[in-house]
Amino acid sequence: MQGRIVAVCTSTKKGVAKKDVGQAEARVNWGLVGDAHAADWHRQVSLLAMESIEKMRALGLKVRPGSFAENLTTEGIDLLALPIGSRVRVGNDVVLEITQHGKICHEKCAIYRAAGDCVMPREGIFARVITGGTIRTGDMITPIHEGE
């Protein structure tokens, strides 16, 4: 199971859509440099599949990578099939550890109000940065198996 990074997105504020910046530096135990969600916690980097965004487009929503405030938009990898605690390699250097599937949205954020729905709570996943480096659009994302 291997996928590809479709977009690398950041924002300076929480609760808003992120902008595709093409590449970002992933810092160990922090997240993407310059992103509002980066911090020393378990949800340093958020991932959402392009396939999830396409579901929302099929419902008539005008959404794009970053619309659901995800950092990394992926394609071709079943994110929810990655167990908590498993690791993925992004590009040549970055290693992320999966820490959470989905999330509870206590308030309807600007994304929900603008789009009418948000797939991130149901289909997004979160990770922390184990090995840092640059993540770029087009990078491969590959599960790491024990001993690799």
Show me where the domains of the chain are located: 3-144
| Cα(31)–Cα(144) distance, integer angstroms | 19
Q: What is the β-pairing status of strands 72-75 and 45-49?
A: parallel
Predicted confidence band of residue 129 (pLDDT cuts 50, 70, 90): very high
Higher pLDDT, 50 or 123: 50
Q: In the β-sheet with 31-32, what is the strand arrangement from edge to edge? A: 31-32, 23-27, 133-136
| CATH 2.40.33.20 is the classification of domain 3-144 | yes
| Cα(73)–Cα(11) distance, integer angstroms | 14
- Beta-bridge partners for 128: 97
Report the alpha-carbon angle 120-15-23, nearest 5.
75
Evaluate if residue 107 carries a pLDDT over 80.
no
